Amino acid sequence: MLLYENTKLALNSLRTNKLRSYLTLLGIAIGLFSIILVMTAISAIQSSFESVFSEIGTNNFIVQKYPAVRMGDDRGRYRNRKDLTIEEGEKLKQQTTLPLYVGIYMGSGGKVIKYGSEKTNPNVTVIGQNLDAIYSNVLEVEEGRMYNRTDIELARPVAVIGAAIADILFSKQNPIGKTIKIDDQNVTVIGVFKKRGDIMGQSRDNFISIPLTLYKRFYGDHLHSAQYIITSRSKDLIDKTADEVIGALRTIRKNAPGKENDFELITNDQLVQQFNDITKYFKIGAFVIAIIALVASGVGIMNIMLVSVTERTREIGIRKALGARSLIIRVQFLVEAIVLSLVGGAIGITLGVIGGNVVAGLLGMPVHIPVDWIIIGLTITSFVGILFGVYPAVKASNLDPIEALRYE
C-alpha cells in the first residue's frame, strides 16, 4: 500500500513539473534508445545469419580457398593461393575414410538466364554440384526433383532453379520440363528449390544448380576455386574427420611441412563466432553511449529531486510534524526518482525496439524482440534512479520539522 501511494505521489510530481520532468526523461530515453536500437537491430541480423550458418549443418564443414571473413591486407595473401580444383576434391574423396560425404561444388555469378522473351538480371549464380554435395546440402526441392547420379554421370543438361528465378521467368506457368538458356546453352528445368527468402537485402533464391559434370563442360574447372562440403559420420567425429581432411589435402596440394594450410576449414560455430567478433564493437559502442547518457540523466534526476526537496520543504515539515517517520519520507523521494527513471527508460526501450526492427526490416530481417536487453535496460535505469535518488531522499528525510515548517 505504501509503495502504491508513493508511486501515485511520484507520478503527480511528474505531472506538476512537466517541462523539468520531460527534459530529465529525454536524457534517460536517449540513453536506453541508443543501446536498445543497436541491440535489436544486431540481434535480428544475428538471428537471420545464424539461420543461414545453420544450413551448413552440425556434422558438416566447408573447405575453401578464402576464410569466411577477409580483412584489409590479408586479401592479397589469400588471393595468391592456388585455387581448389574438382580433381583435388575427387582425390580427397578417394584418400579419406572418415568423411561420410565429400561434396564438391563450383559457382559462377553474373549470369543472365533466359526463357522465351523473359530474362533475369545479370546477377544469377550458376552452381555445379556432385552427388555428395547434394546429400550434404540442406536445400529442399519444392517442385519436381533434384538431379541424380545418372544425370551427373551423363552430364545431362538439367537444372534445379531457385524460387526467385521461377518467379521471374515462370510467374504464370509451371517451370518443370521447360527449357531455359544459360549462356546460350539449353537446359531443362527439372525442379524448383523451396524459397529461403532474403538477407541483408540480397535474395538467397537467385541461383541455379546443375550437375558438376555439366558445369565443367560449360565453364571448365579453372574459372573459379572449388569448394568442398565435408560431412562427418557423427558430430563426435567431426574433429577427427577435419584432421584427416587437412592431412590428405595438404598432401594432395603439396603443402611443405611446417607451412600453413593454403585453404580454410569453416564450421557453423566459427561463422557464428566471427560474426559475434564483428558485432561486439558495435555493441560496446552503443553501451558506452548509453552509459554516458544515463550518467548525465542521473545527474539530472538528482538535480530535479533536490529542487523538489527544496520546493516541498514545508510539506515535508508538516508530514513529519504529523508523525511521518524519516523512512517514509526517504522511501517517497526514492520511489519518485526510480519512477522518473523507469518512465524514461520505458520510453527509450519502446522507441529502441521499434527503431531497431525498422532497421532490421529495411535489411530484410524478421522482427525481433531482445528480451534480455530489455530486462538489462530496465535494471540499469532502476539502478540509476536508486543511485542518484538516494542523496535527495536522505536530505529530505533528515530535515528538521520545526525548521521545515518555518520555511517560506
**Which of 217, 239, 262 is the endpoint of a domain?**
262
Residues 309 and 282 in one domain: yes
Which of 79, 60, 55, 53 lies closest to 275, judged by CA? 53
Q: Is 184 exposed, middle or buried (0-12, 13-18, 19+ CB in 10 A)?
A: exposed
pLDDT attached to residue 381: 80
pLDDT attached to residue 276: 73
Residues 237 and 344 in one domain: no
pLDDT attached to residue 1: 45
Phi, psi of 124 (to 5 degrees): -90, 140
2 band by pLDDT with thresholds 50, 70 and 90: low
Higher local confidence (pLDDT), 296 or 158: 158
pTM of the shown model: 0.65
**Which of 216, 234, 262 is the endpoint of a domain?**
262
Residues 193 and 297 in one domain: no
Within a domain: residue 299? yes
Sequential DSSP letters for 97-133: SSEEEEEEEEEEEEE-EEETTEE--TTEEEEEE-HHH
11: pLDDT strictly greater than 70 = no
* Cβ proximity of 364 and 297 under 8 Å: no
Q: Which helix (H) or strand (E) holds 209?
A: strand 207-211
- Mean pLDDT computed over 346-358: 85
Highest mean pLDDT among 146-160, 333-347, 365-379: 146-160
Within a domain: residue 268? no
Within a domain: residue 76? no
Count of structural domains within the chain: 2
Residues 299 and 189 in one domain: no
Q: Which residue has the cell 540509476?
A: 384
Within a domain: residue 295? yes
Cα gap 287→268, rounded to integer Å: 28
Residues 116 and 157 in one domain: yes
pLDDT attached to residue 17: 66
pLDDT attached to residue 373: 78
pLDDT attached to residue 53: 56
Residues 290 and 399 in one domain: yes
Within a domain: residue 61? no
**Which of 234, 262, 290 is the endpoint of a domain?**
262
Hey, how many other C-beta atoms are within 10 angstroms of the C-beta on 262?
17
Within a domain: residue 68? no
pLDDT tens string 256-288: 888 888 888 887 777 777 777 777 777 777 777
211: pLDDT strictly greater than 90 = yes
Residues 102 and 241 in one domain: yes
pLDDT attached to residue 256: 85
Residues 253 and 282 in one domain: no
Within a domain: residue 289? yes
Lowest mean pLDDT among 40-54, 140-154, 157-171, 217-231: 40-54
Q: Which helix (H) or strand (E) holds 330?
A: helix 326-362
- Mean pLDDT computed over 294-300: 74
- Mean pLDDT computed over 58-87: 77
DSSP secondary structure letter of residue 303 = H
- Mean pLDDT computed over 287-313: 73
3-state secondary structure of 219: helix
Phi, psi of 328 (to 5 degrees): -65, -45
Compute CA distances 37 → 280, 283, 290, 356, whole Å: 15, 10, 11, 4
192: pLDDT strictly greater than 80 = yes
Lowest mean pLDDT among 105-109, 296-300, 356-360: 296-300
Number of continuous H segments (helices) and E segments (strands) in the chain:
14, 14
pLDDT attached to residue 176: 93
* Cβ proximity of 343 and 301 under 8 Å: no
pLDDT attached to residue 97: 92
Residues 171 and 94 in one domain: yes
Hey, how many other C-beta atoms are within 10 angstroms of the C-beta on 12?
10
38: pLDDT strictly greater than 60 = yes
List, in order, residues 6 or more apart from 294 with CB less than 8 Å away: 27, 28, 31, 32, 380, 381, 384
Cα gap 96→89, rounded to integer Å: 11
- Mean pLDDT computed over 347-370: 79
DSSP secondary structure letter of residue 201 = T
Compute CA distances 4 → 25, 62, 112, 347, 363, whole Å: 21, 60, 68, 21, 44
The parent domain of residue 375 ranges over: 2-52+273-406
Lowest mean pLDDT among 207-211, 238-242, 373-377: 373-377
Residues 225 and 290 in one domain: no
* Cβ proximity of 201 and 208 under 8 Å: no
DSSP secondary structure letter of residue 204 = S
227 torsion bin: left (phi>0), alpha (psi -120 to 50), beta (else): beta
Residues 320 and 200 in one domain: no
Residues 172 and 316 in one domain: no
Within a domain: residue 110? yes
